Chain A
Amino acid sequence: MLPQNMGNETNIKLPISFILFSFLALVLSQILLLLNGQIMAGGSFRIPAIWSSAHLIVLGWALMAAMGAMYQLVPVAFLTKIWNEKFGFIQFFVTAVGIATFAGTLYSSPQHALIPGVLTLLGILMFLFQMFMTLKTQAIPTILTAFVGSALVCLFITIFMGITLVYCLKTGVGAEYYQSIFKAHLLMGVTGWFTLLIFGFSYKMVPMFSLSHGFPMVQAKYVYGFYVSGLVITFVSIFINNSVLLKAGFLLLLIGFSVFSWHISIIIKKRLKKKLDKPFTFALVAIGFGNVLHLAAFILLWTHKISTFAGPLIYTYLFLWIVLSIVSYLYKIVPFLWWTYKYSKEIGKNKVPSLKEMMNEKIVTPLFFLFIIAVLIVFCALALKTAILFNIGQFILSIVFIVITACILRVLKK
């Protein structure tokens, strides 16, 4: 037996700072959406308020929450310490100020969004550098390294494209490529960064939360191969405007996602924990939604209806796959962080609560069902361009988000 002591845990204040900021941004983004519902329901997505709200939810909430989760998960998943925690706190400060001012200027004067955008970029680049330095020290790279590393590359491309968009808007340079850059920005941000990141960490969290054992991992290589080649081909097709290549790219993305769903179902079948926790069950439901939406995107592309449904489809993909996955995992991660902060020195000395006791699980099923229903209502409203339906769906969604935020923050009182 080889003794190994590998305490790699991060200072809990670092991930918690990111996660608390993320929930503040989430609530703000919802208020903005509620106030501008009628314009959005009319089919206009490219208005300052929507830009601001979209970036608050994608950068302020999802990205900050993902960064916070990564500060916690990378050391344990890759068995290596965070390169520099102090640098992490500075990165938090820069990114938080960057995103807050970026969302603010996008709302009030988008033409002045370049400097806050650069500050946000700097924060994200600092994060990428931190992760690069951390992953570099990993003893043996695994398939998880490939997923997370590629996700980080996609994040860099997304941000680069985003800054290019702001530059084009400000100077008028490269106007003919604006549409392509915008599409590539969405592709790399939504399907590249977030999906690859969720794929990678799912391979750590799904077996952990279900206590699965003895499952094969060979499928993960195919997931990676299909999905990443789908991303590359779709990216290229956007710039050379080739519809055949675009279809091939969408097909590869669909195959990659389907293999991932199938692989996760194999892992779940090998579980020891018979009854799964409710938030985790919804993370699995999110995979189903992601798969269905990839299939829908592929069918719509083949039937030449993708341009009509692109907005509602991206919205639904963002909410039912990415947001649902992140919220579900946050329901597990936040109690864990707080438990570690409050009770890790008590375990073995006094009676400590279980992680399940840190969170009100009873509310999860009705709350998450309501979330799904609200997103579907908004999807219908966007597809049918019905303002009243949009307002109903968005109102329910905003309430659900506020309740979710309150539930998660209540953990900090335990």
Chain B
Amino acid sequence: MMNLHEKVLEALKSVYDPELNINVVDLGLIYNVEVTESADVTITMTLTTPGCPLHDSITSGVRYSVEGIEETNKVEVNLVWVPAWSPEKMTPEGLKLLGR
């Protein structure tokens, strides 16, 4: 049976960057997922570029997907630019989807 941390990661995989059609986990946008004992979830994430036009949509999508998990209490999304996103943060699946 999956623990909450795993469930959060699974839910995040349903959030796709609509331009690249790759989920935020495989795209390497999720830096950290913190789950407290009281089921508060804090997600630290980035975007491929600070001027991403899908900024609000993707961060809201991340929040909605985690809020959709029954056990979660409070959900916080921290968007950070440091360290900056780089291709090395992508998973092999993500790179494959880009034709790499």
Residue-wise, chain A 321-345 has the 8 Å CB interface mask toward B (1 for contact) of 0000000000000001001100111
Residue-wise, chain B 65-81 has the 8 Å CB interface mask toward A (1 for contact) of 11010000000001111
- With A3-B78, A79-B51 known to touch, is A273 a contact of B16 (CB < 8 Å)? no
Could you tell me the distance in whole angstroms from the C-beta of A40 to the nearest C-beta in chain B? 39
In addition to A79-B50, A208-B48, A347-B57, 5 A-B residue pairs with Cβ atoms within 8 Å of each other are A3-B78, A77-B51, A273-B98, A343-B18, A348-B62
Contact residues of B between 56 and 99, Cβ < 8 Å to A: 56-66, 68, 78-83, 86-87, 95, 98-99
| Chain B contacts for A336, CB-based, 8 A | 19, 53-54
| Chain A contacts for B64, CB-based, 8 A | 347-349
Across the interface, A208 reaches (CB within 8 A) one of B49, B63, B81, namely B49
- What CA separation (Å) do A50 and B66 show in the bound complex? 58
- What CA separation (Å) do A55 and B79 show in the bound complex? 44
Is the pair B55, A344 in contact by a Cβ cutoff of 8 Å? no
Is the pair A272, B68 in contact by a Cβ cutoff of 8 Å? no
Interface size of B by CB at 8 A reads 42
Is the pair A348, B61 in contact by a Cβ cutoff of 8 Å? yes
Could you tell me the distance in whole angstroms from the C-beta of B96 to the nearest C-beta in chain A? 10
* A-B complex: 5 closest residue pairs judged by Cβ atoms: A274-B99, A347-B61, A348-B64, A348-B61, A348-B65
Is the pair B49, A207 in contact by a Cβ cutoff of 8 Å? yes
The verdict on B14 contacting chain A, using a C-beta distance below 8 Å, is: yes
Instruction: Report the contact-size class of chain A (Cβ under 8 Å from the partner).
Output: 35 or more
Among A5-13, A288-296, A377-385, the one that faces the other chain is A5-13
Contact residues of A between 339 and 386, Cβ < 8 Å to B: 339-340, 343-345, 347-349, 351-356
- What CA separation (Å) do A367 and B22 show in the bound complex? 28
- What CA separation (Å) do A137 and B65 show in the bound complex? 33
Interface residues of A (CB under 8 A from B): 1-9, 72-73, 76-79, 204, 207-209, 211, 213-214, 272-275, 336, 339-340, 343-345, 347-349, 351-356
Is the pair A344, B81 in contact by a Cβ cutoff of 8 Å? no
Is the pair B53, A72 in contact by a Cβ cutoff of 8 Å? yes
- With A272-B98, A347-B57 known to touch, is A1 a contact of B82 (CB < 8 Å)? yes
- With A211-B48, A348-B65, A352-B18 known to touch, is A1 a contact of B53 (CB < 8 Å)? no
- What CA separation (Å) do A356 and B16 show in the bound complex? 13
Is the pair A349, B49 in contact by a Cβ cutoff of 8 Å? no
The verdict on B15 contacting chain A, using a C-beta distance below 8 Å, is: yes
Is the pair A76, B55 in contact by a Cβ cutoff of 8 Å? yes
- What CA separation (Å) do A275 and B14 show in the bound complex? 23
- What CA separation (Å) do A348 and B50 show in the bound complex? 21
The verdict on B52 contacting chain A, using a C-beta distance below 8 Å, is: yes
| Chain A contacts for B82, CB-based, 8 A | 1-2
- With A7-B56, A208-B49, A275-B99 known to touch, is A349 a contact of B68 (CB < 8 Å)? yes
- What CA separation (Å) do A72 and B50 show in the bound complex? 15
- With A1-B80, A8-B55, A348-B62 known to touch, is A355 a contact of B86 (CB < 8 Å)? no
- What CA separation (Å) do A2 and B31 show in the bound complex? 12
Is the pair B15, A211 in contact by a Cβ cutoff of 8 Å? no
Is the pair B60, A344 in contact by a Cβ cutoff of 8 Å? yes
Residue-wise, chain B 37-51 has the 8 Å CB interface mask toward A (1 for contact) of 000000010001111
- With A3-B78, A211-B20, A272-B98 known to touch, is A348 a contact of B55 (CB < 8 Å)? no
List 5 A-B pairs, Cβ < 8 Å. A5-B59, A5-B79, A208-B52, A211-B20, A348-B15
| Chain A contacts for B18, CB-based, 8 A | 339, 343, 347, 352-355
| Chain B contacts for A347, CB-based, 8 A | 15-16, 18, 57-58, 60-61, 64
